[in-house]
A and B are shown apart, each in its own frame.
Chain A
Amino acid sequence: MAKNLYQKVWDDHVVRQLDSGQYQLFIALHLIHEVTSPQAFGMLKDKGLGVAYPGRTFATVDHIIPTDDQSRPLADDMAERMIQVLVEATTQNKIEFFAPQSGSQGIVHVVSPELGLTQPGMTICCGDSHTSTHGAFGCIALGIGTSQVRDVLASQTIAMDPLKVRRIRIEGELSRGVTAKDVILHIIRTLGVNGGVGFAYEYAGSVIENMTMEERMTVCNMSIEGGARCGYVSPDETTFEFLKGRERVPEGDAFDSEVKKWRSYASDADAQYDDEVIIEAAKIKPTITWGVTPAQAISIEEVIPDPDLVQGLEKNLISDALDYMKLEVNQPIKGTKVDVAFLGSCTNGRLSDFEQVAAVLKGRKVLPSVRAIAVPGSEKVDKAAREKNLHLVFEEAGFEWRKPGCSMCLAMNPDKLIGDELCASSSNRNFIGRQGSPTGRTILMSPLMVAAAAIEGKVADAREVFGLGEVQ
């Protein structure tokens, strides 16, 4: 019977059905970090349990690590303690830990793919909702809670209900200056923040097929922002090419036989789906958020929505978001004053993101009133960028080039918004208070748009600022 990738990977990894009706699923790769996992080791200890498959778990630190001075002990006692607990637990349990300055540290969703740990056909779990990123390689990649981190450590399995699968086909060609980030913001805007609840999203169609792995990761990364527990792309030549030669990927004949296996996980041409959505690529414009959920998004050409045009709770939702964001109804979003520009995160903190921005930044300057930071997603990204002297391009333009970490994506390290500062951000969440100030404001956008905002000091159309293609 024809199957889609989700069904194939699921069927392969099911251990058995539980009495509750859920399934017990084997987890091929488990990633842990310092925020959601140390507590799980405590839970194991309480139950007198050990780690069943330590070789299938890998650890890093990303959320709380400062991006300026990373010397230990960290200035923040609690942050230092969390790292210590993780270091102790991983040492005790023989789990590989990618420590700062090891050359492999970074944001968990950047690190695992670049090492080649993430491979097609795997089930992957991490105590982090953006685990969906790894779906780009053709995996079922799930964010889990700490109790489930405990379950994976103790048994290498989780209990789970199967998901339905919605195929989202993006067909046609993107116009110039429209990026993967715009594609996913457009999808979330179209389907809503909870449109994906109960679903895995399969991204397909010519636009996805033509994307690089980095771009596919950007798209899959934000699946969870649309409510989908996971999102994936069927593996193809682009996937195999990306994996070839990576540190944790076999070489030679072994690689060829892996490719054969990986290829077999791709969705069959006549596979069935529970739902299908088709999106016309040509209709996607540079898209940014105006509100406090990733679905509260509009194209750069639109005006800020009017709550009076809708009814009920939705109306309150819009007016509350507008109050919080201090934005005016019916005004163009373009021109909104920006205080901070943040380039980085597991959505857009990969080498290609910095390359793309560096190419347009050359010879331009960040407006002096804007605090602009560029934060590589991993030590490997940092190293590769430095080898190409990209950090100098950023620094000359007026960006600070930082050390790897989650940085200003969330408020767990010293990089934070102050007061009601407005941040043009390449990250994935614009929730109230997300960037560290209870009144701080976030506008999500693509790296190109962040660069344009940094230069102009206001929300701007990257296509105009950088002369990229036609604007109708």
Chain B
Amino acid sequence: MKAITKFGGKGVYVEGNDIDTDRIIPARFLKCVTFAELGSSLFYDVRFDEEGNSKGHVLDSEQHRGAEILISDVNFGCGSSREHAPQAIQKFGLKAVIADSFAEIFHGNCTTLGIPCVTMGKDARGKLSALVETDPDAEIIIDLEGLKVICANNIFDINMKESAREAFLAATYDPLDNLLAASDEIAATAVKLGYT
């Protein structure tokens, strides 16, 4: 696990409020015993028709090839707890998501995988997605330390759940080692509550 502090990449704007996890990864792709192959199924039903032909979705457009930062609107990732959704996002090559707001379980799953979920004011976010649409090559720099997003000479303030930011900066976003370090306290809690 490496600290995640500041990084940049091209952006891609996938428009829509309440984009749910069934849309991000349709249920039929959940049949897998590892997450390795999920990248190509990201947003499958909005990207491809029933014969598997591209419907010209923005994620498949030439200009946005190699984009690393996903931008969307309100309540991104609502619906199921399936980690397949952030896994598909990560395996597709996306490193962060910027949206007006996030659904909670999705946000937590992303954090554990090292995908920062960043929010910013609605106007700023609107401006950022417009910038990306007019200039797909514009680099977006996300600075978790300074809580800023920089794109084409614009500097936007961003918000983040403090515990998530802490975890990215301290490289503890995958909490397992930390959790395991408290095995004595865990055992004591189990005994206290009669959970043996």
Contact = CB atoms under 8 A, between A and B. Distances in A.
A7 to B, nearest CB: 16
B30 A412 contact: yes
Contacts of A157: 179, 182, 186
B182 A432 contact: no
Interface size class of B (residues with CB under 8 A): 35 or more
Contact of A155 (B82, B101, B174, B176): B176
Contacts of B166: 19-21
A15 B180 contact: no
Given A21-B163, A38-B33, A293-B20, A436 B78 contact: no
Interface stretch (A75-83, A327-335, A344-352, A365-373): A75-83
Nearest to B162: A21
Contacts of A52: 183, 186
A39 interface: yes
Nearest to A26: B189
A28 interface: yes
Contact of B28 (A22, A160, A436): A436
B86 interface: yes
Given A15-B186, A20-B172, A145-B81, A26 B193 contact: yes
B170 interface: yes
Contact of B179 (A151, A197, A316): A151
A313 B74 contact: yes
B104 interface: yes
A154 B176 contact: yes
B50 A438 contact: yes
B77 to A, nearest CB: 10
A12 B193 contact: yes
Interface in A280-330: 293, 313-314, 316-317, 320
A145 B111 CA distance: 11
A129 B109 CA distance: 12
B190 interface: yes
Interface in B116-168: 161-164, 166-167
Given A143-B105, A197-B104, A434 B195 contact: no
B86 A26 contact: no
Contacts of A13: 189, 193
Contact of B176 (A47, A63, A316): A47
A293 B18 contact: yes
B103 A145 contact: no
Interface of B: 16-18, 20, 22-23, 26-28, 30-35, 45, 50, 73-75, 78-84, 86-87, 101-105, 108-109, 112-113, 161-164, 166-167, 170, 172, 174-176, 178-180, 182-183, 185-186, 189-190, 193, 195
12 contacts: A15-B186, A64-B31, A82-B33, A128-B80, A144-B105, A154-B180, A157-B186, A193-B78, A412-B27, A432-B45, A433-B45, A436-B28
Interface of A: 12-13, 15-16, 18-22, 24, 26, 28, 35-36, 38-39, 42, 47, 49, 52-53, 56, 63-64, 76, 78-79, 81-82, 85, 127-129, 131, 143-148, 150-151, 154-161, 193-194, 197-198, 224, 227, 229, 293, 313-314, 316-317, 320, 410-412, 429, 431-434, 436, 438
